Structure 1
Amino acid sequence: MYIKEINITGFKSYKDITTIRDLSPKHNVVIGRNGSGKSNFFAAIQFVLSSEFTSITQHNRHAFLHESVGAKSATARVEIVFDNMDHRIPTESEEVRIVRTLTMKNDTYSIDGKSVTKTEIVNMMESAGFSRSNPYYIVKQGKITELATASDAYRLKLIKEVAGTRVFDEKKEESTKILTETQGKIEKSVTLLGYINERLKKLEEEKEDLKEYQKWDKMKRSIEYTIFDKEITEAKAKLEKLTDQRTKINTEQNKYETLLIEIKMKIQNTEKQIRELDTHYKAKREEKETLVNEQAELMERKTHLELSIKDLEAEFNNERDGKKAAENEKIGIERAIAERQAQLDELQPRYQKLLEEESSKDSDIRILDQRCKELYAKQGHPEQFRTVAERDKHLKTELQWIDRQSYEMKNQIEEIKKSIRADEEEKETLGQRLRQEKILLEDLSIKMNKLSQEIKHKKEQLNKAITRRMDDSHLEKEKREKLTMLQYDVNRMEEDFRRLTPKATMSGITSIKTILDEYKHKRIFPEVVNGYYGRLIDLFNCTPEFNKAIEVTAESRLFYHVVEDDKVAMKLLESVNERSLPGEFNFYPLNRILDTQPREIIDKEARPLIECLQFDQKFNNVFKMVFKDYALVPRLDVGTRVARNEAFNCVTMDGDQISHRGPLTGGYMDVKRLKLDLVRRLKNAENDKNDLEKEIDCLTEKISASLNVVDQIRLEIAKRETEIQTLNNGYHDCLAKKQITSELLNKLSNNADNEPKMAQITKLKNRLKELTAQKESVNNQLKTPLEAGLTEAERDKINKMEKRRADFGNRIQTINNELQHKLFKKREHLNALIESNAGEKSNRLDTEQAEIKLIYERVKKLLDIIGVLDFNIEEYSKKKAELTTFLEKSQEKQKELEKSLEEFAKNAEIFCTKIANIQSKREEYSKKIKEIGPLPADAHGTYDKLPLKQLDKRLTEAMNHLKKYENVNKKACEQFIQAASQKDDLAKRVNELQKNEQAIKDLLTVLENRRYETLHLTFKQVAKYFSEVFRKLIPNGSANLIMQTLEKSLSTRSTTTLSHSTTMQSGAETETTIGEQSSMPERVLHELETFVGTSIKVSFTGGTETRDITSLSGGQKTLVALALIFAIQKCDPAPFYLFDEIDAALDQEHRRAIAEMIHDLSQTAQFITTTFRAELLEHAEKFYGVRVRDKVSYIDEIAKASAFDFVQDDQAHT
């Protein structure tokens, strides 16, 4: 056993956690400058182990708390870790951690995390080899000097402490106190014996008068006893009868109570089933209402579509028939137009010829008329013109006018021809436009058909999407119903868990969950969230048959929190304290739990309990720590055998426990109160609930996605319907434009507008001809005379031509009017009718027919679902009726049972009252029997056969006789007997007290003997080891430890040494060997009383002359004191020693000797020393340097060379 590791936090100059780990089991040296914190390091060890700091007052606690830059530490904590591989400390653990934590309010100790008292730690250390009477396993600065300069009496006191004589002194003091009390009791008892003897003499005189009284009193008491005994016997018989009846009633009552419990359970289950049915029925009813509403909407839509389809079919059929009729009619119209066009084609040339001929003749007439006018004018020229020049001038002016008119007419003819050519070009343009519009109409019709097909397809998709959404919604409702019932079960199980779990534990679990939820929500401290693995109960699985065994084994540890390391635990505790959250918190930090190898179980009928668990190997150490010492056995006898032979704690499947220390615990366990099974069911229910919530979330997302798809499809349908409407409007617009273009083209094609233009050209040509003739006439006026007019034949011919021309003109006009105002318009109307967008109605008809088909399918599906729902609702109604009937019957049965139980209770109360009355009478008679007092020997059986009347008569007789002795001392006999009895008892007591007195005196003698023997043995060992150690430290030297005594009778002083010879010293001093003293008690007492001190005689040169320690130098005193300390330690060895600068006052040679001594002793014990010298470093195995910075001390492991450098540097500076 040795100190393996030391952890210091907030203690004196150590602020943050300072860990000194991997200490050597042999010699460890701590070096550092003065004021760096070496002494505080030693004080930290004493703080935990030494009794010096056991009681620290509130006022003095500040001195132990660290205070440097910043706030003062609120807690001082020191942890010492012992290696216990040799199991010197009586525990099965191979490592023991002792912690002391000090705050301004609390001072606590713990061993391996379990709170303990200081006394428990002291007892544990004593069991490990630390003697309470040996204070020298920790040697601080100044302790050596104190011992070196101590008086002889102090050294004697020290040896007595080492010998443990204090125990004997305490026992002696206690025994002396008891002896004094015993002697006092003896004295009082002797006095009381004298008083009793005088009392007995007086009572002897009253006995004669009492004998007669006692005779009749015995008779009275015998009779009373007999009467009372008869009454008690009768009462007992009645009581047994009533008890039997009450037992029967109780049996029946228990039977009815069992039935009542069963009925209540059935009622609860039935009510639960009814609740589930109501929930299910409500959901089915709501679903049915939804489906019925949807069916109504679909039926309304179906009716609307049926009417619309009917109208569309009628319109489509009418249009189809009308189009067919129009096509037939169009053929007739085209034929009529062709006939009329042929007539026009036949009449037009003849009409044009006649028109030209008429125009020519008309022109000829006008020319002839003009010539006549010219002749008449010529005849009048002499009257009009006086000279030739005037006439010629007039004619030239006329010729100029004719030229101008001719030029203008030619221009007009060209303009009219241009207009005719423009009409031809426009005709060609209109024809091109008409063809383009026909192509556009066909393209629009194709696009509308395509969009109609797409709408039809989209509506099919829409119906499928709506169906999927409704199916998902139905499934979601069913899942939510299951979730509601599951949530009810979870809430009930959580309530049961809270009821079965201690409030503090439950509060702790809730608090930890609150903190972790806050961390997750705020996304802070991920290392804590990830480092928290859950409660121990959450980290393993097992079959249900092992639940009892595991639960009774682990108990409250099932709810300990498993974390990655102690940092996670400290952070959680810090958060708990900051928020002042309630609860009990226990953690298993994985980094603090060591891997231990479990022992094998030899017995074939037993198996390790840990094998029944399934868990992640990450938590192997935790489960080993909890379950490694437990074996699972099939029976109690097997468990007893395994616990006795293999020292395992055993547990059966039923939860009965057998401790290897002996106790057996167990009994009936209510399965309903097993928390492990409840937590497993709660965990499974929560997992099912989480899975169901995830499924519902997925369905919700799916429904949302379906809604989005439905909306998207509807948008696309609306978009395409808008596009169709736009295309339809464009189609009608294009059709109207085509009709206009066709009408314009028809007008241009039938030459109706060109005939006036051609006639105008003819007129202009004729007029031009007239002007040419007029010009020739003007030029030739004077040359040839003209006739005055036409012949009659010519005028008749002209008239006939005018009639024919008018007739042809009327016929052409009639034909043109028929073509323009009737046939062409009729043809355009038929074309429009034929080219009307019948495809739109066809597409609408197809779309609505597809939609109504989907509606038929959906309605059929809805009817099937509604039929199933109706069946389920009907089944629900039947089931509920059955359950309700069963519930009513059960409730009636419950009422009957409760009524019966009330009757039982009333009857039981009556029986209880009767029994209580009889018991009261019996007790009363028993009390009276007791009041009778001691009975005569013949009281039993003397009057048993007499009836109660005779007994009463004799009782009256006895009481009459007793009246004569009313004034007699009725208690004289009793008092005499009592006094005699008291005398005997007191005499025995005095005798016992006297024996006890002698025993106590003998015990005092034994204690003195043992005290002397112990002191003698201890002194002998210390003196022997002192001489040996001194010779080892000073090879040429010698030393003796001398017991100094004082002879009381002679008032002279003597000394007792360990030498085997007796010599005389100067004066009255003598030397005798302790071993030669008499063993007689008087002699022992005498010797112990004469011990007054322990002196030391040493020689450093090896000569015969020895010197007293008081005459030595400081270094020599130190060496002698160290030799004595080593001797005490060898006499009463400890597992480890702490030396603080014990070589400070020694020279180099003596320091080397001390170092060699420590090296030899470190083979069997651990040494931790501090020094400023190199000698102690030579044989040490571990070196630690202490440094200070900003008033904070630090300890680090250093190399041996660094330690030597530090010592040499320190010596150079000093």
Structure 2
Amino acid sequence: YLQTSREAEALQQKYASLSKSLAGAETDLEARNIDYVKAIEDLGALKSNLSGFIAEKGINDERAKTILSLVNQQKARLDEELTNLAIYDGKVKSAKERMRALMSEYNEALSTKLENQEAIQSYAEDIVSLNSKLGLAQGNLNLLTSIKNEYSGYQDAVKRLMQDSKHDPVIGSKIWGVLAEVITVPSDFEAAIEYALGGAMQNVLVETERDASDLINYLKQKGYGRVTFRPLTSCRPRPLTGENRGVLTEPGCYGLASELIKYDKKFDGFVQTLLGGTVVVNNIDNAIRIFKKYNQSIKIVTLDGEIFSRGGEITGGSRRSQTQGLLAQEKKIEQAQANLEKIKNNIALLNNQRAEREQELKDLTDKIEQLNQEISELRIENSLNEDKSKQAYEVTQSLQEEISKNAEEYEIVKARIKELEEKISSIDELEKVVAEKKEEYTSMLESSKNVSSEQKSEREVMAEQVTEIRVKLAGHKSILDACDQDLFRYRRERETLEDEKLDVIAALKLEQQNLDNITNAPEKTTFSKEDEARIAALEKQIADLNVRKRTISDEIVSLDQEKTRITDERMAVNEKKVRDENMLENVDIEMRTQQQHILEEYDLTYASAVEFKDPEFKAYGALTVISDLKKSINRLGDVNPLALQTLKETEERLQEQTTYRDDIQKAYDDIVTIINELTGEMQTKFSDAFDQISENFKDVFQQLFGGGKGELRLNMQDTDDVLEAGIDIYAQPPGKKLQNISLLSGGEQALTAISILFAILKLKPMPFCVLDEIEAALDDANVNLFAEFLKKFSDYTQFIVITHRKPTMRHADTIFGVTMEEKGVTKIVSIEFEEAAKHAK
């Protein structure tokens, strides 16, 4: 019994373990089935939405492509607009810099133009002034040249002889010149040389004594008077002796007079004869010192004209206000010529400078016009570039905003595509999982079936063994309490029922799972009615769901197509919107350009221009009219923006020049009036004086000639002006007929000339009068008569007479005698007759 009990207990434990293992396998199989079913449900749900996912993904892919293409286009346009913006900004910056440079250049050119205008005006005034000075200088030069050519300032005989030498080749060939005109003296030594030479300045230089003799005969023939000739062959230079050469190193000594002047070498004999031994010193004190030191053996002349002669004579005193000026004539002419050339050069220089300024002014005017045109064009171009820059900036801002929005939308679409791709990818993965679970479940199911069959068989065997053991125990324990046996039996039966119950439940669950997965359990060929009913219901439900699915798919496809159409229309509308906006911007730019054009061309704003709008205007033919008008405008030339200012300046200059001209004209008229008045007064006075002199001449002529008739007549043959008329002198000595003075003898001519002199003095006595051998041609009787006339007129005029005639000397008050005891040594002796008479008494 105990062994049987132990065997029964061991079998019971083994049976329990086997039952537990079978229950665990069934539980695992059930769990696997649940996972498999859930995966199939999830897969079905995902597959039901798969077409929607795919359609939505396709739409989003197209949308993403569209957005990406649009963004790329917008980025390309943005790059283009940014490039344009940089270009326009660069142009604006460059234009502003160019504008500043042009304005600076314009202001500088304008300032320079004003300076040139002022300079040209100044040059014009200076040229007028210099032309006036030129006329005076030319007149001065002509006067000096005339004085030189006519030998004014020379003795009358010298003057006539030199004038004849210019026209008579024979006479001219014998004369080398006058000493004063063949030497050139520095201005500092003019007075000294002139006093040193004295009357020798008017010496006529000839080659031989024969030439001098011929010329003297010519003078006699012409009756010109006396002239001192200096033949070269008679010249005897008297240089300083060796013992006197030391004077040249004395303080205050300038040197030999012959070395202080300039002359041609062929005149060296004349110069050395007259000045070779004459020393020039600075003042009289040094002259006295040197004169004493060298024992009065040197001729000295000071700068003030004091002369220290060999032998001790000293000549000096007050200087004449002016020397004869013979030495300075050539220098004055040279100075006058130099002054004239200087004025001409200054005028030429001013004319050149004015021409340069005028050319520069013309260039500046052209430059200002060009700069003004460039500035105007640059302003227009800069305005257009600023508008384009502003437009490009606005476009770039708009594009950047659109790109940002499209980029955000693109990211959203891409995220949705990724999400859909993940869902679609999860379906494939889930199908793989379902397939794996199906295979695993099928394998497990097969294994479970095999294991459960074996375990059930083993369990049945064990159950039979347990029963047999129990029977044995029952037989062996018959003696045991029937209750215990029944209880044990009931307990075993209960356990069996419970096991069967579990088996049934497991079978039911398995059948339920198999029913739910009919499609996945092809090995099952027979179903219960309930299963068939359930399968039919499920199939009907699946069919309905498939129909619903197809309907929904069709609706989704239709909606996708509608969405695609609407998207395309929206994109077309957006593109049209962009084109229209660009067109509007172009229209705005064109309107602004036209407004700027109207403002610049016609100086009118748009509002002002609208007032001129003609509602009845016909556009037909307007272009032809506009073209003709533009051609007419072009023919007018470039518009000078400074024309008004230039006109104002020109008018001011015209007014100034007109005033200046009027002043000059008034001054000219006043001068002409004064000249006419002076001329009229001079003519009147000259006529009155000439008539009076003519009457005086008649009286004096009769007194000097002891009868006869003298007459002065005006020669009006070539002029109507008495001031320009010549004077004809007619004389009729007693016993002769009335004839021209040129037909009289030398004595008669001289006496007639003396008559004219006294006739003039009788009209208007002079303070003093110098007469140089005026009576040389008269005989003694006429000389005495001449002297008496001098005495009579000496009450009103002091006469200084150079004479060799005794009657003249007898009637003089004072006599200065000049004698030369030896060659080169002159002495002066003076006698006052009144004092002499007193001493004689």
Name the TM-score, length of structure 2 as normaliser: 0.25
Structure number with the bigger relative contact order (C-alpha 8 A, sep ≥ 6) is 1
Name the TM-score, length of structure 1 as normaliser: 0.19
